[in-house]
Amino acid sequence: MIAPDIVADYRRLPFADGTFELVVFDPPHTFAGPAGWTRKKYGTLTPDWREDIRRGFAECFRVLRPMGTLVFKWSAHRVPVSQILMLTPERPLFGQRCGTTAKTHWMVFMRGGGA
C-alpha cells in the first residue's frame, strides 16, 4: 500500500528552494485515454507535455541544494529520451538503459554549486 505524506504537482512543488539533497523525478511518460488503467496508476502526458516536463525539471533543480542529486527516470516507449533532454539545460552525469527493450532510462544529474 502506498500512503504518501504529501501529494503535489511536480510542476509546482510546495517546498522552499534548496530543501533536498536528493530528488527522484519519474513523470508520466505515455499518452493514455481518459479512463485507462495506465492514466489512473501513472498519469498521462498532456497536450502541453513539453512545457510540463520542462517545468518539472526546473522545479526539481529549484528544490535541490547546491551539489544535490536528481535521479530521473524516463520510458522512451512513446517519446525518445533525446526529446526529453532538450527540455532542460542540465546534462546528466551518467545514465543506464534497462528493461527488456532497453527503453527505460535512468539518469543522474547534479545541481551546480552556484545554482
Entry pTM: 0.87
Specify if 7 maps to a domain. no
- In this structure, the number of other CB atoms found within 10 A of the CB of residue 32 comes to 17
Specify if 93 maps to a domain. yes
> Given a cut of 60, is residue 114 above it in pLDDT?
no
Structural domains of the chain, count = 1
DSSP annotation of 59: H
90: CATH = 3.40.50.150
Specify if 11 maps to a domain. no
Specify if 5 maps to a domain. no
Q: What is the dihedral of CA 29, 33, 34, 38, to 10 degrees?
A: -50
Residue range of the domain that includes 60: 20-30+40-110
What is the per-residue pLDDT for 115?
A: 42
Specify if 8 maps to a domain. no
Specify if 14 maps to a domain. no
Rounded distance, CA 112 to CA 115, Å?
A: 5
pLDDT tens for residues 43-98? 778 889 999 999 999 999 999 999 999 999 999 988 999 999 999 999 999 999 98
Specify if 9 maps to a domain. no
Residue 50 burial by CB count (10 A; 0-12/13-18/19+): exposed, middle or buried? middle
pLDDT tens for residues 55-69? 999 999 999 999 999
